[in-house]
Chain A
């Protein structure tokens, strides 16, 4: 039996003085799965993700991460999270290598200096996303797609077991979206890392993911992407 990396049981959530965003959600992800979570903006998919990662506390129900309560998980270095809009508005010309090296901190800790194994992990992560020729290039001089790859390399540098991407295709062109999807498929196969891909537009990865979860106040579909059409005659309503 595979370990559940993420497990939500009977989870409900509402913003203060607001309506329910999620109602009685049961959801789990096994180790090694590649799961796309899709749904309309405001449907609750990012909230579901934040509860699963222990950032938000559910109004009711239980959230577990690597078998521990998500809020107090002691294995956070096993998670890499690529935020919807990562704070990359720094003034300094941060290079690809510096960005990726920052992703090694969770694994290495604050105080211990980097050793040869860390430097090798950083170089490997940069190589996996195809940016070995640009290690010394400031992020501001990369294209949107290359910057997205650099962020994924940062996530990989920590050798995560769970890679979470929140709207990773927002703001990048179609070619970059397809390229990102191919990269994720390759990483999933090579590294066996569990991937949670959250997007209101899952077209780029629908051919690669094993499982699609549609969220709209609760889970309205959970299965193979191919089964969606049969299960849901009018998928266009997903994009409200």
Chain B
């Protein structure tokens, strides 16, 4: 029996393919801005959103989407207004998110297997509705990144210089924060809220060891993200492992491989 004979695996692969392309494309800008851990903090906020969905009887993906985007914009606000240092803003977000999630889950009486599928990812619970939502969110996010690519790069390379020259860096930062929230909400079914940040970061830092420009880093990271998800899902299916963790371990292995390749290339006298 082929892995794609099962309807749930076809759904998981299709949804995972979108997630594999989406997460590194947004993570690329976070990594370049030294904000890699923001995805982790927002994953905890997404957990609170999932719990709110259970409590209110709404779709956990939709409530997580709303709560995570709001959390992302709040962190950006705290960071730019210097109301809190970047690490303090992150800590505030991290702990408030997880605490709110625990309280809401206990209030909803929802400490069950379905909740764990959001925390750690599950290939069994992906529905056709999930696929459509993830596809729509991915299409919108990738289109926005393509449209705003030059502005996002300008703000990433020299935010103050860009702002002084009239680039609307504040609006770009808010859009990027919102896209991080969207990515986490879209990806949590496959990778889980606790591990999604890894898929936003690991393919990017692996790609930057191999790439020759910013654009090639972005495209290569999307390729590595896609490959990590597909290889991780396949491995988790045959070895009966948790898909989220397996995907992230494959991405970590890709980073180790990229690092080894870059070192070997350096020893042989090649370019970066």
Which A residues form the contact surface with B (CB < 8 A)? Answer: 53-55, 75-77, 79-83, 86-95, 98-99, 101-106, 108, 110-111, 114, 136, 138, 140-141, 154-155, 158, 160, 164
Contact = CB atoms under 8 A, between A and B. Distances in A.
B204 interface: yes
B114 interface: no
B164 A79 contact: yes
A106 B214 contact: no
Contacts of A108: 150
B28 interface: yes
Nearest to A112: B150
Contacts of A95: 212-214
B100 interface: no
B151 A92 contact: no
Given A91-B31, A93-B208, A138-B272, A105 B151 contact: yes
Interface stretch (B66-74, B83-91, B155-163): B155-163
A91 B165 contact: no
A98 B147 contact: no
Interface string B185-208: 000000000000000000011011
B165 A76 contact: yes
Contacts of B211: 92-93
A102 B212 CA distance: 17
B34 interface: yes
A65 to B, nearest CB: 10
Contacts of B213: 92-95, 98, 136, 138
Given A90-B156, A91-B205, A140-B272, A106 B167 contact: yes
A99 B157 contact: yes
B168 interface: yes
Chain B residues touching A, range: 35 or more
Contact of B158 (A79, A83, A164): A83
A105 B162 contact: yes
29 contacts: A53-B164, A55-B164, A76-B166, A77-B165, A83-B158, A83-B160, A86-B160, A88-B158, A90-B33, A90-B156, A91-B208, A92-B208, A93-B213, A93-B217, A94-B157, A95-B212, A98-B153, A102-B150, A102-B154, A102-B157, A102-B162, A104-B150, A106-B154, A106-B165, A106-B166, A138-B272, A141-B271, A154-B158, A155-B161
Contacts of B165: 76-77, 79-81, 103, 105-106, 158, 160
B131 to A, nearest CB: 31
A58 to B, nearest CB: 17
B32 interface: yes
Given A98-B214, A105-B150, A138-B212, A86 B166 contact: no
A193 to B, nearest CB: 14
Contacts of A83: 158, 160-161
B215 interface: yes
Contacts of B148: 110
Interface string B83-110: 0000000000000000000000000000
Interface in B131-158: 147-148, 150-151, 153-154, 156-158
Q: Ordered nearest first, which 7 A-B pairs have the shortest CB separation?
A: A76-B166, A106-B165, A92-B217, A102-B154, A90-B32, A81-B164, A105-B154
B158 A110 contact: no
B160 A92 contact: no
A93 B153 contact: no
Contacts of B159: 87
Interface string B23-62: 0000010011110000000000000000000000000000
